[in-house]
Structure 1
Amino acid sequence: MTGIHDRYGLTAVVNARGTFTPLGVSRSSAEVAAATGEALSEFFVLEELKELAERTITEVTGAPSGTVVHCASAGITLAVAATMTGVSPSRIAALPDTTGLPSGVVLPAGHAVDYGHPITQDILLAGATPVLAGRETVCSLADLREAVSPPDVACLLLVSSRLTRGEPVSLPAAVAVAHRRGIPVIVDGAAQDFRIEELLGTGADLVIVSGQKYLGSPTAGLVLGRAEAVRAVRAQEKGIGRAMKPSKEAILGVVAALRARHGMDRHSWERHQHDKVVRFTERAGTLRGVTAEPVADPTGLPVPRARLTIDADSAGLSATGVAEALAQGAPPIWVMTQGQERGELTFELVPLTGAEIELILDRLAGLLPA
């Protein structure tokens, strides 16, 4: 690999770990990169850009309304703020002081995820207070019903992510519980841009997804949902949202990414991803001590991954040892290691070129010859 890495003395990385923020998240298409680059050299009326973004979001996703913010994490903070202030200028100006405002944010205990920092910190940044319902292992609808009952509750926050813990919480049922109490609901679906329609279908008032994950835009978050709720999110730019506003190039990059997604032949794309994983697992499965299989994304994303289960006794190397050896090579290869204590390594191939996939297989063959 040559180019920008050599020019600035940076490490070129093969990212088989998925949309992982410490590795730069994703690769943008040439179309998105061109729109982003062109935006950098021009002036715009920012309100026009925001209106363009809203029109594009509604046209492509079917959401009633939508806006672009700095990132998905910012989207959580601003959505929480919006449920406390509405569009009231005085309340917006007061944040993060929530004196006199409902400020409790209920979330199932197993949804208090950490994706580089705790999601509860996103809540605290708005001046709100996280209220965990149930236990990490299970949060029942009765637990949620009890947690959203006090008068100082501002909203219910649910998370759609493979990082959640415990028994799955039915999102539509949880939304219904909160709405029966008149409590708005936010769904954080950071990497779930392929599932926007499904998440909106839960009845949630606001849904948040990342622009720079599978959409492949510059760093940005999309907040979608009821028009009134989205207006309250946009209104936060007169308060704490000023520090979380999107740039002109991010907005136009999101617009370009959404238009590309709208024109994509999704069936062909999904078939291509499936075939890549099947070919990879067929070859990896011939290596010593390795069982390889395609696995579905646990949240329902159309992103199959390759799981390698390594028998340390047969392979002569544990899954942890393989992951470390791959990461220490040149170039480093990063993989998903959440199951390494069970002998499992997972490879996401979506953003990788054919040459990069061949490199991974060659390196594996060097570590675990057939």
Structure 2
Amino acid sequence: MSILGVSTLSDAVVDQLAYGAKNYFEMEELVKKSGEVIAYYLNAEAAIITNSASAAIALAVAGLITKKDKMLVDKLHDKNYKTNGEIIVMKGHNINYGAPVEVMIRLGGAEVKEVGYSNMCSADQVQAAITNETVGFLYVKSHHCVQKNMPSIDQVQEVCHRNGIPLLIDAAAEEDIHSYASLGDLVIFSGSKAIEGPTSGILAGKKQYIDYSFPHLKGIGRAMKVGKESIFGLLTALENYESTKQSVDFQTEKLKPLYKLSEIKGISVTCINDEAGRDICRGRIMVNEKEANRHAVEVVNELKNGEVAIYTRDYHATEGHFDIDPRSVTKDDILLITRRIEEIVGEAHEVKS
């Protein structure tokens, strides 16, 4: 969760942060060489490390707007120079992930063209939206997006390639970091989410499009530059990624103490799979307001405001439930969370009685 600093770093990553911080490097060469390493790990033709996934979106779009015209890199937002271009995004994907995705598209110099509706879109509608002004299509792979009645990446890829339109995939928090480069012409990852590296982002994909974006590192990308320490930390996180990735079985095992909460009147616990299809399971705490004498929103707020602040995935708290993600907590943390929920609901029962 970005609001909590995203993820914690391993000792190996911290050591490499220190190595990068304590030494000098020729930065342009370091950026190029590190991009080659990232591309290797992601099965992509080329890559750039950025300071965030949001920066990667903006740089990807900027490259598609200016292509090989280096004059336009300097004049990207100058109204005296023609830099017209539109990025198509499905309405159900035009989300706010902490910032509006459309802001990053516009930062890159493009206009946003929504297609479809918030509850449905079709490949035919995507086809109909493409014009001579279209420079790319952004597909956002996220639990924040509408999941139902939306074309798959494969369906969108077919439409884009049939029309010669680059497909950008925002896969910021995805755990499968190896397959997306074959699905999209450009793919965006957060370096600090599933990869558990320092604050950073990755733009990877076809060399042609990465080459378009690279000059913008001396344009709008100057405000998004990544430090040498973060480069070394991210490379180490990627090197260790497969060995540190938690299996679903391991996640499920960590969640077991939560099931004790089902013994409390008004509380039930289930294990649910990630809504966006990732290899993640979460403990879902369902609160029956009448029986528990507490609404799920109240429980969530009391968890946050306790002596030890506990943040949950509370997107659906108003519907009566919230989730616990086991990946970022220890077994002792799960026990603490369980005890705290017992206290909150127990106090509510005492008040009622």
TM bucket, shorter chain: over 0.9
- Number of residues paired by the alignment? 345
What's 1:63 paired with?
44
Shift of 1:158: 0.9
* Aligned partner of 2:54 among 73, 76, 101: 73
How far, CA to CA, are the matches of 2:248 and 2:28 in structure 1? 36
Over residues 10-55 of structure 1, what are the superposed CA-to-partner deviations in whole Å (9 max), with x where a residue is unaligned? Answer: xxxxxxxxxx111111111111111112211211122332233223
Is 1:163 the counterpart of 2:140? The answer is no
Q: Aligned letter for 1:158?
A: Y
Q: Which moved more, 1:215-224 or 1:98-107?
A: 98-107
- 2:247–2:279 contact (8 Å) kept in structure 1: no
- 2:300–2:314 contact (8 Å) kept in structure 1: yes
DSSP 3-state at the match of 1:57: helix
How far, CA to CA, are the matches of 2:12 and 2:249 in structure 1? 22
Q: Aligned letter for 1:50?
A: V
Q: Aligned letter for 1:254?
A: L
Shift of 1:265: 6.5
Is 1:197 the counterpart of 2:178? The answer is yes
Is 1:146 the counterpart of 2:132? The answer is no
Across the aligned residues of Structure 1 and Structure 2, the Cα RMSD in angstroms comes to 1.7
Shift of 1:196: 2.5
How far, CA to CA, are the matches of 1:288 and 1:226 in structure 2? 55
What's 2:220 paired with?
240
What's 2:312 paired with?
335
Shift of 1:301: 1.7
DSSP 3-state at the match of 1:67: strand
The TM-score, its normalising length taken from structure 1, stands at 0.89
* Aligned partner of 2:206 among 198, 205, 226: 226
**% identical aligned pairs:** 27
Q: Aligned letter for 2:166?
A: P
The TM-score, its normalising length taken from structure 2, stands at 0.93
* Aligned partner of 1:176 among 150, 154, 158: 158
Is 1:82 the counterpart of 2:60? The answer is no
Over residues 63-121 of structure 1, what are the superposed CA-to-partner deviations in whole Å (9 max), with x where a residue is unaligned? Answer: 22211011000110100011111233112122123743441111001110001221100
Q: Aligned letter for 2:274?
A: D
How far, CA to CA, are the matches of 2:200 and 2:187 in structure 1? 14
Poorly superposed stretches of 4+, deviation over 6 Å: none
The runs of 5 or more residues in structure 2 that have no matched partner are none
How far, CA to CA, are the matches of 1:358 and 1:87 in structure 2? 56
How far, CA to CA, are the matches of 1:337 and 1:167 in structure 2? 24
Shift of 1:348: 0.9
How far, CA to CA, are the matches of 1:298 and 1:53 in structure 2? 33
How far, CA to CA, are the matches of 1:154 and 1:55 in structure 2? 25
Shift of 1:246: 1.0
Is 1:39 the counterpart of 2:5? The answer is no
What's 2:251 paired with?
273
How far, CA to CA, are the matches of 2:77 and 2:249 in structure 1? 47
